[in-house]
Structures are given as C-alpha cells and as structure tokens.
A and B are shown apart, each in its own frame.
Chain A
Amino acid sequence: MSAPQRRIAPEHWFGVAGLILLAVGSYLGLVEAPPERYMGEVGRILYIHVPTAWIGLLALTAAGVFAGLYLVQRRPRWDDLLTGCVEVGVILTAMLLIQGSIWARPTWGVFWTWDPRLTTAAILLLSFIGVLALRAFVEDPQRRARWTAVATLVAVLDIPIVYFSVKWWRTLHQDFSSPETVAGAMHWPLRINAFALLALAIWLILRRARLSRQRRSARATAPPATSTLVAGD
C-alpha cells in the first residue's frame, strides 16, 4: 500500500534535456536572431514552426515503423510505442496547423487556404485522429493492436505526400527551406529547437508507452470478474 521510494524514471531525462534545449533555442530565436528582412518580427515563428513540422512528421513516421514491427513480431512493446508515436504526432501536427494559421494571417493575408500543402497536412491530422478513434473502439488488446498497426500503415502514406506537396504541385506555401535559403544567424535556433522537440517527443512517447505497460500488467493480474473494468489502453 505505502508507496515505495521511486527513482526518477529514466525517460524524464529526455524531458529535462528537451526543456533546457527549448529554453536556449527559444532565447536565440526570440532575442538573439535578427528579425526577418520582409516579415519583421513575425518571421520568428519560423523557429517553432519548422522544428514542429520536422519532429511531428518524424514521430508519425516512427509510428509506421513500429506498426510494421508489430505486425511482424506481435510484441506488445511495439504497440505501446506505436500508440505513443501516434498520440505525440497528433499533438505536434495540431500545433503545426495552429502555428501555421497564426503565421499565415499577417504574412499571406489569410488564416487558411486549401492549398496542397495545407490540405494534405490537414488530411494527415485527421487520418491519425482516425487511428486513435479506431483504437478506442476495440476492446480486445491483440485485435486492437493489429488494427491500429494496419490503420497506421495506411495513414503514413500521406507523410511523403505532405512533405513533397510543395515540390509536386503549385502551392501558396513556400518550398522547402534549406541552409542555403536561410540566413546563417537563423540556423542555430532552428537546430536547437529541433533537438528540443525531438527530446520532448521521445520523453512523452516513452511516458505513453509506460502507461500502456501499466494497463497491460493491471489486466494480467486483475481477477477475471473485474477485468472488464480495466478495458481500454
């Protein structure tokens, strides 16, 4: 009953590192870096928007990898990590669309337009919300894991489409930025915030996987009569 002395869970070090990096990167981006030549101060949204896009797409890509691993090996651990990647990826993609809207209004002139980049990104968010919804409707853990993995493999098909949309079609959204198109003083805030969000994403993905593991062990030890009360993941 009494709580044993708990050591700090190892994943928390990712959280600590991520917060420190985010503080440094944001300081560099918001204070040290110059304003953008044409956009002025509002151009600083670059330093949160681009890292959010990178890490959001990375988390959802990782979800696809764990989905494949699960279908091959059927290890519950892969399902745990898959769930973490999808949840964190959905959060990051939602943040991405909000930031983009806020940036678009003063620079493009509109909060939203159905250009291919924005449209495919919105489809990506809805697809993965669909994956989470599907998951919530299946009780049997093995069947839930299998369906989640398959649905994830379908949803990840949109990731390269989002990424290359600015190359394949005419868009309002700008083309990829690269070190050649971004001034040197703006590189470090971008890089540091990217590593910050990477660390924070890993932190929360591992936290979410821990939650799944707790629930699984609760199911395993619970007496059969009460096991239905522990449904869900």
Chain B
Amino acid sequence: MKRSGSLYILIAVVLAVGAIIFLAVGGLGDNLVYYWSPSELRAHYDAPTGQNEDPLNRAVVRLGGEVKPGSIVRGDGASDLSFVVTDGKQEVVVHSTAVPPQMFREGIGVVVEGVLASDGDFRSERIMVKHDNEYKAPTNGEKPAYAPANGTM
C-alpha cells in the first residue's frame, strides 16, 4: 500500500524532471542555433518570402563569423565602430555602438547581437569575442596583448 503510493509520486517526479530537461535541451538541439553565419543570415533575409521584408519585423539575432582583416573602422566616439564579419563566402557590414573587449582584433571570431537593417548592414549593441581553445605564452620578447593599465571597465 505505502510502497505503491510512493511509487506514483516517484514516477511523477521522474516525469517532471525529465520533461524539464527534455524541453530545455531538446529545444536547444533542434531549434535554437546560437548564431547564424553571414551566409545563413543573407539566405534568410534575401529569400523572397515577403515575410521578412519589413525591417520592423526583423528579430534580434546573433551573427557569428570572423572579423575581416583591414575592415575595422573606428569613429569619433570610443564605442563608434564598424567592421565586416565574414564566413569566407558572404560578408556583412556591422555597425556597433558597443565597447568591444580587449581581444577584439582583425581576424578573430566574433558573435554580434542585433538586427539586419533594411540597408543590408547589421546594427549591433553587443559584441562578443570568441576565444579559441589555444592557450599560448607570448612569443620571445613580445609583450602580452594587455598590460594592466587604467581600464575602461
């Protein structure tokens, strides 16, 4: 009697926890792509479905790729910045008002959050730098990229 009662509660707990994990992780696997490549972003918005034509309907998305060497242009303000994100096939010009982290440089991987404006450029207020899994010492005589100074943090 007592055993079967607790068994039902046990099954309920298992189902509840399992459902939460399934929703969280299953949804992540199938639907949620953390960022789009420039090619995917272009393909999505250039498709003549009509649905995505109105710029006001465009959702905030993440765009990931490499900062094209030579494309970084800094404006007057500290946070007035534009650069090109590329995946080797397509390019997207990004205008950003975010303060980038110290590792932001040409050739590095970035993920930017924002919207693709109707002029075909990406407007972002959030830049994230993607560090790879390589950890190296500075090469002979080279100073580390960052020497502790008065940061803007």
Contacts and interface: CB of A to CB of B under 8 A. Distances in A.
Do A and B touch (CB < 8 Å)? yes
Interface of A: 33-43, 46, 105-110, 113-116, 119-120, 123, 127, 130, 134, 143, 146-147, 150-151, 154-155, 157-158, 161, 168-172, 174-178, 181-183, 185-186
A161 B26 CA distance: 11
Contact of A107 (B13, B14, B34, B131): B131
Contact of A169 (B13, B34, B134, B137): B34
B59 interface: no
Contacts of B130: 108, 172, 174
A155 B14 CA distance: 10
A183 B135 contact: yes
Q: B32, B132, B134, B148 — which one has the most chain A CB atoms within 10 A of its CB?
A: B134
Given A34-B138, A115-B34, A177-B135, A41 B148 contact: yes
A98 B100 CA distance: 21
Given A120-B25, A170-B34, A174-B133, A37 B101 contact: no
B135 A182 contact: yes
Nearest to B24: A123
Given A109-B101, A123-B21, A169-B29, A46 B135 contact: yes
A38 B103 contact: yes
B131 A183 contact: no
Interface residues of B, number: 47
Contacts of A174: 130-133
B83 to A, nearest CB: 14
B25 A109 contact: no
Contacts of A33: 137
Contact of A157 (B21, B33, B98): B21
B146 interface: yes
**Which of B6, B13, B25, B142 has the largest count of A CB atoms less than 10 A from its CB?**
B25
Contacts of A119: 24, 28
Contacts of B85: none
12 contacts: A35-B138, A37-B142, A38-B131, A106-B102, A108-B128, A109-B101, A115-B34, A116-B32, A116-B34, A134-B13, A154-B17, A186-B135
Interface string B20-39: 11001100110011110000
